[in-house]
Structure 1
Amino acid sequence: MKKSKIITIVAFVLFYAAIIFFAAPNLNPLYSDGLVFWGIVIASIVIAIFAYGGASKLSGSYIKGTFFSFKKSNLILIIVAVAPWIILVAVNIFSIPFFHPSRYRDQMPQPESRKFTSDLQPLDVSQLPIVDADLAYKLADKKLGEKPALGSQVTLGTPTIQRVNGKLVWVVPLEHSGFFKWLSSMSGTPGYIVVSATDPRDVSYKENYKIKYQPRAYLFDKLERHARLDGGLFTGLTDYSFELDDTGRPYWVVTTYKNLLGFSMPEATGALIIDAQTGKTRRYSISNMPDWVDRVQPQSFIMRQLNNRGEYIHGVWNFSNKDKFETSDGSIIVYNNGRCYLFTGITSVGEDESAVGFVMVDMVTKKPYLYEIGGATEYAAQKSAEGKVQHLKYTASYPIITNVNGEPTYCMTLKDNAGLIKQYAFVSVKDYTTVGTGETITAALDDFNHKIRENSSGNLEETKSLKQTVKGTISRFAAESQNGSTVYKFTLTEKSGLLFTAAYDVSNQLALTKEGDKVSFTCEKESENIYKVSSFTNETLSSGTPSK
């Protein structure tokens, strides 16, 4: 073999080794990106053979035509070079929904119908995830700004919502801000920032862990390259999610997937779990996933499969759109009974403002649940809430579905131009003209409940009659912080077994009240044995008589 050919072969090997290292492609030809890679490799080898005249020197008969003649060996090389591309096009064409509508429809299982109140527990205002991804990023950036030396070395990664030891939080990894910053800190960036999803004031910086493997690292530390080379060379990989185990140790959860039909219908099969500090990688199937992992199913997979189920519910020839449905414009991650779900509205095809139900899909097992509740879409609820405060020009966050007294209700924050929470809003799913707003969650909920009673009675005087006037002696009194505001809770000696709650803005006298004081107030029943106070007078303070 000539020296020039040896050099060429070595150059080819080194070139494609460099591509594999730097681009980290999928090498499995059963995936479209893997087939493209091998198509390029084969085509370049064939071109090199022709360039060196290797094919023309091969023995074999000629194929003669009117204007040309060449050896069969040349024809074989050409066929080999174009075969991957022909396969790619053919497989993509014959995998379209037109030929397999039932397979596209059934990739998402038939949702299990459930009653709304049987799943979602009554509203707990202290556990509402009022902090969204944008606000979490701003709060994390503010915390990072408190450490100027650190802020010049790192940048914030993508916030991920998750439940850690029963607490709902956003976790934001610190990542390298450039090549030279990585070069000077190859042991990793110093930790991550945790932002409470329920309290904007609860932000903490955790520096006990080094994030060595991350998207903004280089060479072998780069997350995508490490995942591909350490167990994922021939596997579909997607959706890199930063999660903590119950001890606070950081990991990257990378979804593995396969195609169910040609290069189409991707289906999650499990995950690679990569220790962000050591790079140790373990592969798990969905059935044996660690309990602390919240999400395996990519959000894009679920939304696509839900829409396919609605589009092909009666095949491809359903020109009348019978029973067709589609997801609403958006989705959100919610937690219920310790499980992580994707939540989205379902609308009939052609309807813009009306939802026919809602779907919750388990983000690990992909088990779907359907709640057939007619009402407003998330978008319509947002616009209704913004209309309530249009003079303030606040914008509504994406709504969270909640259970208020057994009724499905949207809850959202109202933000100013700086993205800061200024008010809260509750909007009825069944009637999106019923809107309650307030500067605290408690105040907004009170306003919403008031509007509900007005609408149900049709008479304000009748609504007022539902309120009770109570007098008694404080037996126990305490204050509790909920979502950045104070709520007072107390019991009366004369009303044993009943709990009364009052927002801080009900009366200035609440902060001065103590056990033994004589009080009078108006209240309404909120739930069993719990009453919401709407006005409050401390008669001991008003009379100047000290309590015993």
Structure 2
Amino acid sequence: MLYIILLSFIAPVLIWLGFIATANPADRRTTIVNGAWILISLVILKIIQTYVWLPSRNPLSLLGANLIWGAVSLAAFYFLFRATTDSSLNRTTIAAGAGLLVLVIIVGGGEAHSAFSVKSVAQSIQSKKVSSKAAPTFKKGVTPVALSPKTVKNRMNKNMSDVPNSQYFHLGDIQAQYYHGKPVYIAPVEFDGFFKYLSAKQRTPGYFIIDATSVNAEPKFVRKAMKYTNASYFNNNAQRHIYQDYPQWLVADNSEPQLEVDENGTPYYIETTYKSMALSHRINYSKLHVIAVNAVTGKTNLYSLKNLPSWIDEGITSDVADYMNTAYGKYQRGWLNMHLSKTGIQVPTNSEVISTFDRQGQVQYFTDFTNPRSDADSALGYSMINARTGKLVYYKTHGIMDSDGAKNNADNNYKAQQWKSSMPVIYNINGKPTWVLSILDGTSAFRGYYYIDASDQSVHATGDNANEAVDNFRQALVDSGTSAGNTAGAKLKTISGTVSRAVIVTKSNNQALLFTLSGSNTVYTVDGDDFQKALLTQTGDKITAKAYVVKSKSIGNVEKFVNTNLK
């Protein structure tokens, strides 16, 4: 902090020396003494400002500080010395003013570069676009559907009696991570105000942890006294402690540190940081770093995203992921387009990302995008941001509802009970983009899952657990005549035989063929848009096809279809 204060007062000191040099010999002592008191007063204010605001040691920040404090000191020196001396101050004032004008140009240019070079910010995000058919798949027993954080917080709050002197504390933010290979939620116990901080001897007693996928899971309180937390005061505050060790690193998107625990259960606060260009604050998302502070000992470590310890699952904090989505959706064509023509602009439907657990054992942040100029509940696409690497995958969609539309649909089905949906996430189920939502009652207790076809709100299903809900939804797809493809856990098989039953069903404006083969009870679905001749199929026709067949289920989704009777 001393380093930053000294570098921030180069301009005020030079201005003071200039006044001393041009003062009359009779007035020089007065100029030195009074100027010193002015500088001492300004330094005290700077110390308070630095301690509270934690300004960066970035060169642009230091130049900006010199501009501000230089202007204040010039005004103070001028009016004080004009009233107490007979010296001519014009030459010194003009010279100092010219120097400050140069700083205005440099700092103004740097701030303008930071604000207007948004296209470069968007391009720094490691991203790729793929079809919605390549979206994450829901694999029963492998890809879990997590509990809603609202439910988790409700359960943890009910167990606050396990916390020693619980009247001093409240529950902090819920975080997702893997612990010993299993998806969990954790939440710190935080101080309930300054006086409680003093009463608790400046340490919190520990944190809660809970299985993220079991609907019957109960939270466990882990006793681990933490000194450096987000809720601590003075030098024990996690962000201030990080700043003391790494003042040259900027906090990414004004985010706060997040709690994570290593495989031994030791708690850490994780902050996403970056180093900008010398005369800019522009963030480069491809060069983010992570600072981890041990919440018990205060030891800090700096890591690049490529060299994160294996236990850090969210090197990219959720706050940073929110800004990444905004930058990706709004900044692709530059600042003018963002504010004027708005061509290609899309915005996240909700301001906060949703943490999900993928099949590879990593945390992914989900959000969907919508059109900022439309009131329709349609989604333009959705993204998954890898919380360890920061890579963003954007899934292009067409004709599907956004998360608000999915929540409204689910809520309407529970009007009588007054239950509400939560945590909408899209998975690919039987090749169909499908909204998966948790249903909560008025106390945020979990009541079940709700699955809805993102392109057809008439197709939906419920279940008390994830497996039951996905089975019911797959059956709903079959009943509606929906064709599908890349079902996770299904195998592509070549089939042939004689059609024993055949029926044409209509879904919206699309027709599909449902058929069975002699000697098999599997119901196969063929999309009429993909294979128009399939709609002419009759009982007794001989066919050959390739179909995805769901293991242990009598469901088959046809990818290739030939009716040999129609050749």
- State if a TM-score over 0.5 links the two structures: yes
Q: What TM-score comes out, normalization by structure 1 length?
A: 0.73
| Counterpart residue identity of residue 67, structure 2 | G
Across the two proteins, how many residue pairs are aligned to each other? 460
- Contact 2:121–2:282 (Cα < 8 Å) also in 1: no
Task: Tell me which residue corresponds to 1:477.
Answer: none
The CA distance in 1 between the partners of 2:161 and 2:76, in whole Å, is 55
Task: Tell me which residue corresponds to 2:9.
Answer: none
Superposed, 1:70-81 pairs within 5 Å as 71-81=90-100
Deviation, 1:265, is: 4.4
The CA distance in 2 between the partners of 1:359 and 1:398, in whole Å, is 15
- Contact 1:310–1:326 (Cα < 8 Å) also in 2: no
| Counterpart residue identity of residue 138, structure 1 | N
Superposed, 1:445-460 pairs within 5 Å as 445-456=470-481, 458=505
Task: Tell me which residue corresponds to 1:426.
Answer: 451
- Contact 1:401–1:410 (Cα < 8 Å) also in 2: yes
Task: Describe the shift of the 1:217–1:356 C-alpha distance in structure 2 as closer, same or farther (beyond 3 A).
Answer: closer
Task: Describe the shift of the 1:343–1:315 C-alpha distance in structure 2 as closer, same or farther (beyond 3 A).
Answer: same
Query: CA offsets per residue over residues 87-124 of structure 1, 9 Å max, x none?
Result: 44444445554xx5753552334514266457535243
Q: Which moved more, 1:369-378 or 1:407-416?
A: 369-378
Task: Tell me which residue corresponds to 1:282.
Answer: 301
The CA distance in 2 between the partners of 1:312 and 1:22, in whole Å, is 34
- Contact 1:454–1:463 (Cα < 8 Å) also in 2: no
Work out whether 1:263 is the aligned partner of 2:281: yes
- Contact 2:480–2:505 (Cα < 8 Å) also in 1: yes
Superposed, 1:443-482 pairs within 5 Å as 443-456=468-481, 458=505
Q: CA RMSD in A?
A: 3.8
Superposed, 1:466-545 pairs within 5 Å as 527-529=550-552
Task: Describe the shift of the 1:153–1:239 C-alpha distance in structure 2 as closer, same or farther (beyond 3 A).
Answer: closer
Task: Tell me which residue corresponds to 1:405.
Answer: 430
SS of the residue aligned with 2:289? strand
The CA distance in 2 between the partners of 1:43 and 1:220, in whole Å, is 31
| Counterpart residue identity of residue 161, structure 1 | A
SS of the residue aligned with 2:55? coil
Deviation, 1:258, is: 3.6
Unpaired segments ≥5 residues, structure 1: 63-69, 471-524, 533-548
Unpaired segments ≥5 residues, structure 2: 1-28, 482-503, 508-512, 522-547, 556-567
SS of the residue aligned with 1:393? coil
SS of the residue aligned with 1:293? coil
Task: Tell me which residue corresponds to 1:144.
Answer: 160
- Contact 1:105–1:313 (Cα < 8 Å) also in 2: no
Which of 236, 250, 263 pairs up with 1:221? 236
Task: Tell me which residue corresponds to 1:246.
Answer: 263
Work out whether 1:328 is the aligned partner of 2:345: no
| Counterpart residue identity of residue 378, structure 2 | S
The CA distance in 2 between the partners of 1:235 and 1:92, in whole Å, is 15
Higher RCO, 1 vs 2 (CA within 8 Å, ≥6 residues apart): 2
Task: Describe the shift of the 1:385–1:45 C-alpha distance in structure 2 as closer, same or farther (beyond 3 A).
Answer: same
The CA distance in 2 between the partners of 1:164 and 1:114, in whole Å, is 32
Which of 408, 413, 416 pairs up with 1:391? 416
Which of 397, 404, 417 pairs up with 1:379? 404
| Counterpart residue identity of residue 156, structure 2 | A
The CA distance in 2 between the partners of 1:151 and 1:159, in whole Å, is 18
The CA distance in 1 between the partners of 2:42 and 2:234, in whole Å, is 21
- Contact 1:125–1:441 (Cα < 8 Å) also in 2: no
Which protein has the bigger helix share? 2
Query: CA offsets per residue over residues 175-206 of structure 1, 9 Å max, x none?
Result: 22232332243462111011322125423344
Task: Tell me which residue corresponds to 2:175.
Answer: 160
Query: CA offsets per residue over residues 328-382 of structure 1, 9 Å max, x none?
Result: 3353222221222222224456453223433222223222223333322111111
Task: Tell me which residue corresponds to 2:385.
Answer: 361
- Contact 1:189–1:212 (Cα < 8 Å) also in 2: yes
SS of the residue aligned with 1:397? strand
Q: What TM-score comes out, normalization by structure 2 length?
A: 0.70
Which of 109, 124, 129 pairs up with 2:146? 129
The CA distance in 1 between the partners of 2:339 and 2:416, in whole Å, is 48
- Contact 1:122–1:405 (Cα < 8 Å) also in 2: no
The CA distance in 1 between the partners of 2:69 and 2:342, in whole Å, is 48
Work out whether 1:345 is the aligned partner of 2:368: yes
Task: Tell me which residue corresponds to 1:519.
Answer: none
- Contact 1:409–1:428 (Cα < 8 Å) also in 2: yes
| Counterpart residue identity of residue 305, structure 2 | I
- Contact 2:269–2:293 (Cα < 8 Å) also in 1: yes
Task: Describe the shift of the 1:393–1:366 C-alpha distance in structure 2 as closer, same or farther (beyond 3 A).
Answer: same
Deviation, 1:143, is: 0.9
The CA distance in 1 between the partners of 2:423 and 2:301, in whole Å, is 35
Superposed, 1:50-89 pairs within 5 Å as 50-53=78-81, 71-81=90-100, 84-85=103-104, 87-89=106-108
Deviation, 1:127, is: 2.2
